């Protein structure tokens, strides 16, 4: 059993602590993407409607028959296991820091509480261009590149292979989401040229006090959309929109969990909402998960899409710069926050 290695600042404030009882019935929708593999020239409207319903009711859904080869999933999962099994000193050689924002970290901080996890982040575009500072008028840019560990030696290749598959799935899903909002299929595509997307390998070690800690505190994803691979242990919980209950996401073999992030909430002018979720830990089993965070270019201005705004339905957000938001978040990773981190609701009109 793991020992309490951290100072007890992993102890979650009482309202965030996991409840022991979890609800398993009525989970998030499971959607079969196989119609996409048929290559019809017309969209499959039944599928589009299912995606739209899931985005509206849950902000979350699972997909099967998504086209990502099983071998690619297996390779990334085993590379992640190999990496996190290394001694801490070895993993720390690939630590992220203020200059290198990607790499390994022992813990993540959510709202000033430590999460019971280790992570390894890698960015997708090489290099990824972001703003160098969070000052609104400072237009200086900087380039971010990845920091690869020595072991396992194929981690870089495997992550690159995995992200190539994720890109294909990203555009399929963005197409379905755009269609479900009554927009052309490729309406969102151009926003992701020079994307700031990144992927994360998550390792949740067994926790001696799972009722006091969370693997990941409740949060919403700030980007456009997240595609998550989880193993068969489970721990992800989604806040059900209808009643605010935390709903356990039952692991489905070979599936991906998809959720809309804050940017789709703004673009859709609140037609779709980014939903809170969290991860509970367990005293027996370690857990691995791999989220792929889809983010636009640093120079994209985020505001409700003009096609979805009218006199009857005015914009609910003032615009904001994705790049400045991203810089503020990324640069704050190294500060222990005493106040709430920047959030999309700060831009609500
Ligand atoms: C995240 C996240 C869920 C998981 O990293 O934003 O929600 O199951 N992860 O690891
Ligand atoms: Ni998340």
- Site to probe by mutation for ligand 1, drawn from 225, 228, 294 as the one with most ligand atoms within 8 Å of Cβ, is 228
Give, for all 349 residues of the chain, the pLDDT tens digit: 344 444 456 677 766 666 655 555 578 999 999 999 887 789 999 999 999 999 999 999 999 999 999 999 999 999 999 999 999 999 999 999 878 889 999 877 666 678 899 999 999 999 999 999 989 899 999 999 999 999 999 999 999 999 999 999 999 999 999 999 999 999 999 999 999 999 999 999 999 888 888 999 899 999 999 999 999 999 999 999 999 999 999 999 999 999 999 999 999 999 999 999 999 999 999 999 999 999 999 999 999 999 999 999 999 999 999 999 999 888 776 555 555 677 888 888 8
CB atoms within 10 A of CB 121: 22
Can you give the pLDDT at residue 112?
Answer: 64
Does the residue 332 lie in any domain?
yes
Q: Verify whether ligand 1 is closer than 6 Å to residue 291 (CB atom).
A: yes
Does the residue 78 lie in any domain?
yes
β-pairing, 236-239 vs 198-204, is unpaired
Can you give the pLDDT at residue 345?
Answer: 86
> CATH no. for residue 40?
2.60.120.330
| CA dihedral sign of residues 182, 187, 191, 193 | positive
Does the residue 270 lie in any domain?
yes
Are 28 and 249 within 8 A, CB to CB? yes
Does the residue 23 lie in any domain?
no
Q: How many CA atoms within 13 Å lie on the side-chain side of 17?
A: 12
Distance of CA 283 to CAs 209, 218, 270, Å?
A: 7, 20, 38
Cis peptide upstream of residue 240 (ω within 30 degrees of 0) = no
The range of the structural domain enclosing residue 327 comes to 30-347
Does the residue 25 lie in any domain?
no
Domains identified in the chain, total number: 1
- Site to probe by mutation for ligand 1, drawn from 279, 285, 329 as the one with most ligand atoms within 8 Å of Cβ, is 279
Can you give the pLDDT at residue 319?
Answer: 94
Does the residue 185 lie in any domain?
yes
- Site to probe by mutation for ligand 1, drawn from 289, 293, 329, 333 as the one with most ligand atoms within 8 Å of Cβ, is 289
Q: Verify whether ligand 1 is closer than 6 Å to residue 230 (CB atom).
A: yes
Does the residue 99 lie in any domain?
yes
Which ligand approaches the C-alpha of residue 214 most closely? 1
Alpha helices, DSSP H only, in 123-240?
Answer: 155-180
| CA dihedral sign of residues 331, 274, 166, 161 | positive
CA 193 to chain CA centroid, nearest Å: 19
Nearest of 279, 349, 249 to residue 115 by alpha carbon: 279
The protein residue whose alpha carbon is closest to atom 6 in ligand 1 is: 221
Which ligand approaches the C-alpha of residue 279 most closely? 1
Does the residue 17 lie in any domain?
no
Q: How far is the CA of 310 from the centre of ligand 2 (A)?
A: 31
The protein residue whose alpha carbon is closest to atom 9 in ligand 1 is: 291
Q: Verify whether ligand 1 is closer than 6 Å to residue 274 (CB atom).
A: no
Can you give the pLDDT at residue 105?
Answer: 92
**Would you give the end-to-end CA distance of the chain in angstroms?**
49
Which ligand approaches the C-alpha of residue 236 most closely? 1
Can you give the pLDDT at residue 114?
Answer: 80
């Amino acid at each position: 059993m793991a020992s309490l290695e951290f100072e007890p600042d992993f102890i979650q404030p009482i309202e965030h602590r996991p409840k022991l009882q979890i609800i398993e019935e009525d989970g998030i929708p499971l959607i079969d993407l196989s119609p996409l593999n048929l290559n019809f020239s017309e969209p499959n409207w039944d599928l589009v409607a299912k995606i739209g319903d899931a985005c509206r009711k849950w902000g979350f859904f699972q997909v099967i028959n998504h086209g990502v080869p099983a071998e690619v999933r297996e390779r990334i999962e085993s590379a992640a296991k190999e990496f996190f099994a290394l001694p801490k000193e070895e993993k720390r050689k690939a630590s992220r820091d203020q200059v290198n924002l990607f790499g390994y970290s022992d813990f993540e901080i959510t709202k000033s509480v430590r999460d019971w996890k280790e992570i390894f982040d890698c960015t997708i575009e090489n290099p990824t261009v972001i703003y160098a500072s969070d000052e609104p008028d400072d237009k200086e840019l900087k380039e971010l590149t990845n920091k690869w560990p020595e072991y396992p030696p194929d981690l870089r290749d495997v992550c690159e292979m995995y992200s190539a598959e994720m890109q294909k799935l990203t555009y399929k899903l963005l197409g379905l989401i755009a269609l479900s909002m009554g927009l052309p299929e490729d309406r969102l595509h151009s926003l992701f040229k020079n994307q700031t997307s990144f992927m994360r390998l998550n390792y949740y070690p067994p926790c001696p006090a799972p009722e006091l800690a969370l693997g990941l505190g409740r949060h919403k994803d700030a980007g456009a959309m997240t595609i998550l691979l989880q193993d068969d242990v489970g721990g992800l919980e989604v806040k059900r929109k209808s009643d605010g209950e935390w709903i356990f996401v039952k692991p489905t073999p070979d599936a991906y969990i998809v959720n809309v992030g804050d940017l789709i909430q703004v673009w859709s002018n609140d037609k779709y909402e980014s939903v809170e979720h969290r991860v509970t830990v367990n005293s027996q089993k370690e857990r691995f998960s791999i989220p792929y965070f889809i983010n636009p270019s640093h120079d994209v201005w985020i505001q409700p899409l003009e096609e979805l705004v009218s006199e009857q339905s005015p914009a609910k957000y003032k615009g904001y710069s994705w790049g400045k938001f991203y810089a503020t978040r990324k640069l704050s990773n190294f500060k222990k926050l005493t106040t709430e981190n920047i959030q999309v609701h700060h831009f609500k009109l």
